[in-house]
Amino acid sequence: MNDDRITELIDNIEDSKIEEALSYKCRNRRTIIKRYAAIAACAAIAAAGVLIYLSADGDRPPVDDADSIVQEKTDTKENEKEKEKEKEKSSQSSSESMIGQAKTDGSTADSITETSSSDDTSSVPESITRDDSVTDSEAQSEIEDGSSENSIAEADTIAITAPEYKTGFYSPESAIVWPWEYLAENERYTETELGGTVYTAANSNVTDTQLIGRSLGNCTASGYDMYDDTRHSTEFEEFKTSGIVIHNEIALLIGEEYYVYKKEAYDPPSDLGELIGEYSLDSNLRFDRYSEYEEYTETEGRVLTDGGGIWDILKNYTAAPFVQDDEWSCSGRRYLCFTVNSETLGAGNRALYITDDGYLWTNCFDYQYLFMIGNEAAAEIRQYCLENSDTAEPVPDKVILGGIVTEITDDRICFDDTELCSDPSDGRTYILPTDDIRIRRSAVFPQAIQVGDTVAVSCSGIISADGSNTIQQAYDLTKASIGTSGETEYIMIEE
């Protein structure tokens, strides 16, 4: 072990004393999507969809292979093959989601357009009417001058679920590659380097500053504008994250927010103890809700009264070896599926499995990590969970609301879902503030939303409690249309 690694581990021990201050949201489904595979899929869809849409403006430059988010592992050809297999293994997912009532099984992919933890709500254009004559610099000036007057205090909100719509609501995952002028700063600059290690953006911010460690100085971050075939760079201050050794992860201060950047190279630990130690998992990852599965069928959802006991058990099995098995799956297995959300790890809606036959599997670190903890450890964890948990109703990871646009102003979009509801009395008129760049840009690109259009809004299900039905924490707005598939009506999201 070299001197730098020793210093990092010492820093890790000091930071690990910081009291855990995270809260997590449950997700009750099989979750085996990996960030890199998801972004690669988005890029493929975008190349076919977005570039066709813009073909009237002339040929667009191809994506530069050298700027691919997936870094090639250069140690040996054998390691390269292992990395590619791991990426394929963790990419098992469905890119479509059926929405109608409250959605409980969305995707875990950190997609280009859905960055639920990247809440840069301060940078927005002044108007939601797209002017193609506006230059990139003028558009960015408008974005930076935006305000957040429509933000709502969380204390004055209530949680809702989507009403029962009379038509199915079909929504493929959005895969728009946004022009540079419509990106927030953290979305623009996706790559940085420190001490020879390349890090890429996790599209996740750390809201609790106690989880941010010492400053590591300034760094140069870069990003690629595929429309102009240009690579941009700028400087940000970088920081250590609490309890995590520097060669695995850092955070960049972008504006007033800290954003997680993860080591890009595939470099799995040798055993479970190394993983727990280098990421301080006992303080940075909390076990909360989980579901019991028979193969891929959920049988029961439960919530733990004290998840810390699981770490107490796992610390007795730190010698559990990492398993390189490219063919491993949950097929034919009975297992517990824990939903994982961690600001410090830059992991949202990821999964950790404990199988009855002694495996621990997770995609919290983007690649598939698999350990053989043994039947005894698995049995202890199952028994502990049974004795220290209660049954729980499913908690949706997102809610998608549909409706007809009734009004558009510079600071809000109003839509009504009465016509879509099975029971019209369930209908509401919602107010969607446009103070979040992800909402404002969706209203004008790739085509402007107008009064009378059907739209779909992805949100956390939090609205104001004052009767105005103002949506808080919305992160995606998409134009939609009602159609049929055989004898089934559905609302199709338009790409």
Burial class (CB in 10 A: 0-12, 13-18, 19+), 487: exposed
Condensed to tens digits (0 to 9), the pLDDT of residues 437-492 reads 989 998 888 888 999 998 989 898 889 999 999 998 898 898 876 655 444 444 44
Specify the pLDDT at position 450.
92
Specify the pLDDT at position 177.
85
Inter-CA distances, 352 with 262, 313, 321, 338, 371, Å: 19, 15, 16, 5, 11
Q: Check the CA dihedral 202-206-211-213 and report its sign.
A: positive
Specify the pLDDT at position 165.
84
Q: How far apart are CA 78 and CA 490, in angstroms?
A: 47
Asked if 425 and 419 touch (Cβ cutoff 8 Å), the reply is: no
Asked if 282 and 315 touch (Cβ cutoff 8 Å), the reply is: yes
- The candidate with the shortest Cα–Cα distance to 423, out of 149, 101, 180, is 101
Specify the pLDDT at position 366.
84
Q: What string of pLDDT tens digits covers the 495 residues of the chain?
A: 455 544 454 454 444 333 333 333 333 333 333 333 333 433 333 333 333 333 333 333 332 333 333 333 334 444 444 544 454 444 433 333 333 333 333 333 333 333 333 344 334 444 444 334 334 444 444 334 333 434 444 458 888 888 888 776 555 545 678 899 999 999 999 999 999 999 999 989 999 999 999 999 999 999 999 999 999 999 999 999 999 999 999 999 999 999 999 999 999 999 999 999 999 999 999 998 999 998 778 888 899 999 999 999 999 999 999 999 989 998 889 999 998 889 999 998 889 999 999 999 999 998 999 999 999 999 999 999 999 999 887 666 788 899 999 999 999 999 999 988 989 999 999 999 999 998 999 888 888 899 999 898 989 888 999 999 999 889 889 887 665 544 444 444 344
Specify the pLDDT at position 203.
87
3-state secondary structure the chain: CCHHHHHHHHHHHHHCCCCCCCCCCCCCCCCCCCHHHHHHHHHHHHHHHHHHHCHHHCCCCCCCHHHCCCCCCCCCHHHHHHHHHHHHHCCCCCCEEEECCCECCCCCCCCCCCCCECCCCCCCCCCCCCCCCCCHHHHHHHHHCCCCCCCCCHHHEEECCCCCECCEEEEECCCCCCCHHHCCHHHHCCEEEECCEEEEEEEEEECCHHHEEEEEEEEEEEEEECCCCEEEEEEEEEEEECCCCCCCEEEEEECCEEEEEEECCCCCCCEHHHHHHHHCHHHHCCCCEEEEEECCEEEEEEEECCCHHHHHHHHHHCCCEECCCCCCCCCCCEEEEEEEEECCCCEEEEEEEEECCCEEEEEEECEEEEEECCHHHHHHHHHHHHHCEEECCCCCCEEEEEEEEEEECCCEEEEECHHHECCHHHCCEEEEECCCHHHHHHCCCCCCCCCCCEEEEEEEEEEECCCCCEEEEEEEEEEEEEEEECCEEEEEECC
Which pTM does this prediction carry? Answer: 0.66
Specify the pLDDT at position 483.
58
Specify the pLDDT at position 34.
35
> At residue 271, what are phi and psi to the nearest 5 degrees?
-155, 175
Specify the pLDDT at position 478.
86
Q: How far apart are CA 95 and CA 77, in angstroms?
A: 31
**Residue that the structure tokens 């103070």 belong to:** 435
